[in-house]
Amino acid sequence: MNRNWSERCAVLLVLALTVLPAAQAGEVLDGVKSREQLRCGVSEGIPGFSERDAEGRWRGLDVDFCRAVAAAVLGDADKVELVPLRASTRFPALQSRKVDLLLRNTTWTLTREAVLKVQFPGILFYDGQGFMVRAEDGIDSLADLNGASVCVEKGTTHQRNLTTYFEVQGWSVEPLVIDSAPDAAAAFFAGRCRAYTSDAGQLAAMRSLAQKDPQTYPILPERISREPLSAVVWGGDPEWTTVVRWVLNVLILAEEYGITAENLKTVLARNRNLLVLRTEDERGIIARSLEIEPGWGIRAVQAVGNYGEIYERHLGRDSPLKIDRGLNRLWTEGGLHYVPPID
Please state, in angstroms and rounded to a whole number, the distance separating the CA atoms of residues 256 and 307. Answer: 9
What distance separates the 2 farthest-apart alpha carbons in the chain?
Answer: 70
Q: How many CA atoms lie within 13 A of 304 on its CB side?
A: 34
SS3 191: coil
Please state, in angstroms and rounded to a whole number, the distance separating the CA atoms of residues 289 and 239. Answer: 9
Q: Vertex 330, ends 325 and 336: CA angle to 5°? A: 80
Q: How many CA atoms lie within 13 A of 30 on its CB side?
A: 8
The pLDDT value given to residue 287 = 85
The beta-strand segments (E) located in 181-226 are 195-199
- Nearest to residue 29, comparing CAs of 251, 228, 245, 307? 245
The pLDDT value given to residue 209 = 87
- Nearest to residue 160, comparing CAs of 127, 111, 92, 230? 111
- Please compute the mean of the pLDDT values over residues 260-276 and round it to a whole number: 78
The pLDDT value given to residue 211 = 74
Phi, psi values for residue 64, rounded to 5°: -65, -35
The pLDDT value given to residue 189 = 95
The pLDDT value given to residue 213 = 85
pLDDT exceeds 90 at position 269: no
DSSP 151-183: EEETTSHHHHHHHHHHHHHT---EEEEESSHHH
Please state, in angstroms and rounded to a whole number, the distance separating the CA atoms of residues 55 and 57. Answer: 6
Beta bridge partners of 126: 228
Amino acid at 87: A
Residue 283 pLDDT grade (very low, low, confident, very high; cuts 50, 70, 90): confident
- The pTM for the full model equals 0.88
pLDDT exceeds 90 at position 280: no
CB under 8 Å to 302, separation ≥6 — which residues? 71, 261, 264
The pLDDT value given to residue 273 = 57
Q: How many CA atoms lie within 13 A of 111 on its CB side?
A: 6
pLDDT exceeds 70 at position 234: yes
CB under 8 Å to 127, separation ≥6 — which residues? 199, 200, 201, 202, 227, 228, 229
Say if CB 7 and CB 70 are below 8 A apart: no
Query: b/e string for 308-326 if b means 16 or more Cβ within 10 A?
Result: bbbbbbbbbeebebebebe
Residue 276 pLDDT grade (very low, low, confident, very high; cuts 50, 70, 90): low
Please state, in angstroms and rounded to a whole number, the distance separating the CA atoms of residues 122 and 108. Answer: 9
Say if CB 96 and CB 31 are below 8 A apart: no
pLDDT exceeds 70 at position 238: yes
Burial class of residue 289, CB neighbours in 10 A (0-12, 13-18, 19+): middle
